[in-house]
């Protein structure tokens, strides 16, 4: 019996949808794109209106044959790829290969993979949106032209294997520019002067900070200035000049969009962007939940809209009133304003079934999915809760002609903070500080005066969270591009990570300098942001994609011709290590490979010695007493092994502790991370363990 055919991107999504649609539907997965531009050549007909020359992706032939056979036998075909540009393009490629008429209503989309959403979409199929397809195609063609035109120049003039990209190059320049700021930074000296004062009646002490003289703010820039103030204060009485009491509110953060989810997962969970999106994909596509079957737990995770469905808002308000009480519920649902540049096709990221709390799913979800779900669930519920309220007090305190200031605040009502508080890159979470009861004219007892010398600090290097925030603020790339961009510039060896911060390598600086001198537009923030707006305008149907490419290509092709002549050959010296090659005695150098840095002999090709970079852990091997080293597997995963390997086979995925032994047997302790998060003894005969 002929059935309806539904084609999605992933097997996990197919499994979830199949259970909702029943026997009259066959659900198959395309496993992502089925056609793409070949890697071996540009494959863009620049003279022929930038027409791309697609080929079937290698390895997809057998799958495509199965899809064609199923399509031939199907009563009706529904293309249910993801609800974004990329998903629309995949549907268009599938329609082309399966012979579906472009006027056929074959396209269905849903923001969440739930029974209601999927069944509703089946009743409202539409034609493929060519504006969305053209927007994706224009972006793909533009990126191909930039990459395949500039990269060969870098191979020829610097070294093979390098690449340039429209978004990756400007991202790399941001990191290099920040490093220049840090290198050029000149610290300035400044001093703090704090007075520890006691209120006479209560006997309570508090700290007041030096502000200035005669009402004007003064910066204490050296010790001489501080000493002059201290001299004047010797005979001064500290008198309360004025006291101001009040209240301030703190509102909850809005629900997550892609970029804020990536930032918060980086801050609070230590997740890379790639790890966050993998976990989010798993939550969106579906997880088997007892009593619910396989269900998509969150809405679509690639979005920059803060819009939330009314039904979801009411579910949140009902939950808040029931679990926390009416005082935690605002008079009306909170609405958050989406940026004017955002695509409003999807909702914000939220749980699809609010009653499935993180606590209920903890035993069901893998560790990463649970942590991310908890973050999304708590953020969404908190965004509809009442504001936190603080009681605040500030006091001006005079000491002769000098002015000191003291302030304090205490939480009066925690509101949304009962459940969730947004993380921050810049400051630590504020703590309660309470001042004693003060009244104007009251004399305070000076306990002591504290002075401390400080120096201004250079701007901080970018972390993943702060880099994504900057890219978003400057309009560079889109949420879906942040993860591949960061992966690319790291894999190419343009930047490295030091204590979770991005540092440009010598190679990254050289490539960025070439790009800045010869392709200024490509690494210009304003130019890149404007190009993003133009690409968005294609999606809106307000401009022809070919015109945008033509306007870009004219000046760009002239830059390419000029650069081919003017870029000088540069040799980037490899970073020399203190590790001696055991085969020929040379100092080994650091090289960048597929899975990151490794050590290689500079005598190549005469000496081909290469080995992974190892770090000492300080722990001792329980089998032979040698050093335990931190190593990387062939796939780049960190593990710990004995330095005498392969003679000694000690190996562990868990980190050995160097400064502590098992209190029961004296053996090696290991730190287990992930969901377990505990300390255990390596000795299988010993049962010692404790929470981390």
Phi-psi region of 611 (alpha: psi -120 to 50; beta: other; left: phi over 0): beta
State in Å, rounded, how far the first CA of the chain is from the last one.
58
- Paired tokens of 539: 């999606």
| Cα distances (angstroms) measured from residue 648 to each of 238, 505, 621, 642, 653 | 71, 36, 9, 6, 16
- Distance between CA atoms of 242 and 679, rounded to whole angstroms? 54
Neighbours of 177 (CB within 10 A): 15
- Paired tokens of 297: 């737990």
Spatial contact of 392 and 246, defined as CB atoms under 8 Å apart: yes
Contacts of 410 (CB under 8 A, 6+ apart): 390, 391, 432, 433, 434
Query: Please, how many CA atoms are within 13 Å of residue 635, restricted to the half-sphere of its CB?
Result: 1
- Distance between CA atoms of 656 and 651, rounded to whole angstroms? 10
Question: Which backbone phi and psi does 197 adopt, to 5 degrees?
Answer: -115, 155
3-state SS, residue 206 = strand
In terms of Cα–Cα distance, which of 359, 412, 413, 349 is closest to 385? 413
- Distance between CA atoms of 459 and 366, rounded to whole angstroms? 38
Neighbours of 671 (CB within 10 A): 15
Instruction: Name the active-site residue from 25, 78, 300, 402.
Output: 300
Residue 301 sits at the vertex; the CA angle it makes with 124 and 25, to the nearest 5 degrees, is 40
Residue 417 sits at the vertex; the CA angle it makes with 416 and 418, to the nearest 5 degrees, is 90
In terms of Cα–Cα distance, which of 6, 258, 23 is closest to 107? 6
Signed CA dihedral, 58, 63, 65, 68: sign only: negative
Contacts of 650 (CB under 8 A, 6+ apart): 621, 622, 623, 624, 628, 641, 642
Phi-psi region of 186 (alpha: psi -120 to 50; beta: other; left: phi over 0): beta
300 has catalytic annotation: yes
In terms of Cα–Cα distance, which of 145, 28, 85 is closest to 479? 85
Spatial contact of 161 and 417, defined as CB atoms under 8 Å apart: no
Q: What would the DSSP string read from start to end of 118-137?
A: HHHHHTS-B---HHHHHHHH
3-state SS, residue 314 = helix
In terms of Cα–Cα distance, which of 524, 504, 489, 500 is closest to 572? 504
Residue 395 sits at the vertex; the CA angle it makes with 394 and 396, to the nearest 5 degrees, is 135
Signed CA dihedral, 78, 81, 82, 83: sign only: negative
Tell me the catalytic residues.
300
């Amino acid at each position: 019996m002929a059935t309806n055919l539904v084609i999605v991107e992933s097997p996990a999504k197919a499994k979830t949808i199949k259970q909702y649609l029943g026997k009259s539907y066959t659900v198959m997965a395309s496993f992502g794109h089925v056609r793409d531009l070949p890697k071996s050549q540009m494959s863009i007909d620049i003279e022929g209106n930038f027409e791309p020359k697609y080929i079937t992706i290698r390895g997809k032939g057998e799958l495509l044959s199965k899809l064609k056979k199923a399509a031939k036998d199907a009563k009706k075909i529904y293309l249910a790829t993801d609800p974004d540009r990329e998903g629309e393009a995949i549907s268009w490629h599938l329609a082309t290969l399966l012979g579906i008429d472009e006027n056929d209503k074959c396209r269905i989309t849903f923001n969440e993979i739930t029974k209601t959403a999927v069944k509703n979409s089946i009743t409202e199929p539409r034609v493929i949106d060519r504006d969305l397809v053209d927007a994706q195609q224009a972006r793909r063609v533009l990126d191909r032209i930039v990459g395949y035109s500039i990269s060969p120049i870098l191979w020829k003039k610097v070294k093979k294997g390098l690449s340039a990209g429209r978004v990756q190059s400007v991202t790399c320049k941001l990191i290099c520019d920040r490093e220049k700021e840090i290198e050029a930074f000149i610290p300035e000296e400044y001093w703090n002067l704090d007075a520890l004062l006691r209120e006479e009646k209560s006997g309570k002490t508090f700290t007041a900070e030096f502000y200035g003289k005669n009402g004007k703010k003064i910066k204490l820039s050296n010790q001489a200035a501080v000493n002059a103030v201290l001299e004047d204060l010797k005979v001064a009485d500290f008198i309360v000049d004025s006291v101001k009491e009040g209240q301030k509110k703190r509102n909850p953060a809005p629900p997550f969009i892609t970029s804020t989810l990536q930032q918060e997962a980086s801050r609070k969970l230590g997740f890379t962007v790639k790890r966050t999106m993998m976990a989010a994909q798993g939550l969106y596509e579906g997880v088997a939940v007892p009593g619910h079957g396989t269900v998509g737990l969150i809405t679509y995770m690639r979005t920059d809209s803060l819009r939330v469905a009314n039904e979801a808002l009411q579910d949140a308000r009902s939950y808040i009133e029931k679990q926390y009480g009416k005082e935690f519920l605002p008079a009306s649902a909170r609405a958050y304003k989406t940026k004017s540049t955002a695509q409003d096709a999807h909702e914000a990221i939220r749980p699809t079934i609010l009653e499935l709390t993180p606590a209920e799913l903890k035993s069901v979800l893998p560790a990463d999915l649970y942590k991310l779900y908890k973050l999304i669930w708590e953020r969404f519920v908190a965004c509809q809760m009442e504001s936190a309220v603080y009681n605040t007090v500030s006091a001006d305190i005079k000491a002769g002609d000098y002015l000191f200031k003291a302030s304090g605040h205490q939480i009066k009502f925690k509101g949304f903070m009962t459940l969730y508080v947004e993380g921050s890159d810049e400051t630590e979470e504020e703590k309660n500080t309470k001042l004693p009861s003060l009244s104007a004219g009251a004399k305070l007892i000076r306990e002591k005066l504290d002075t401390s010398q400080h120096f201004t600090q250079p701007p901080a290097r970018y972390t993943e969270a702060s880099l994504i925030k900057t890219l978003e603020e400057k309009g560079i790339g889109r949420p879906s591009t942040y993860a591949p961009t960061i992966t690319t510039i790291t894999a190419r060896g343009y930047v490295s990570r030091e204590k979770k911060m991005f540092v440009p390598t010598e190679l990254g600086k050289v490539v960025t300098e070439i790009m800045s001198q010869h392709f200024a537009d490509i690494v210009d923030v304003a130019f890149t942001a404007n190009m993003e707006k133009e690409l968005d305008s294609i999606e809106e149907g307000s401009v022809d994609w070919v015109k945008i490419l033509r306007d870009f290509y004219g000046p760009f092709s002239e830059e390419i011709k000029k650069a081919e002549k003017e870029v000088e050959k540069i040799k980037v010296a490899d970073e020399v290590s203190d590790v001696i090659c055991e085969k020929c005695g040379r100092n080994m150098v650091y090289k960048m490979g597929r899975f990151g840095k490794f050590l290689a002999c500079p005598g190549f090709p005469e000496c081909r010695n290469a080995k992974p970079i190892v770090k000492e852990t300080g722990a001792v091997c329980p089998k032979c007493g040698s050093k335990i080293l931190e190593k990387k597997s062939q796939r780049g995963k960190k593990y710990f092994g004995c330095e005498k390997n392969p003679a000694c086979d000690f190996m562990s995925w868990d980190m050995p502790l160097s400064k502590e032994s098992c209190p029961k047997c004296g053996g090696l302790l290991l730190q287990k991370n992930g969901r377990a998060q505990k300390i255990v003894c390596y000795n299988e005969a010993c049962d010692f363990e404790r929470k981390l």
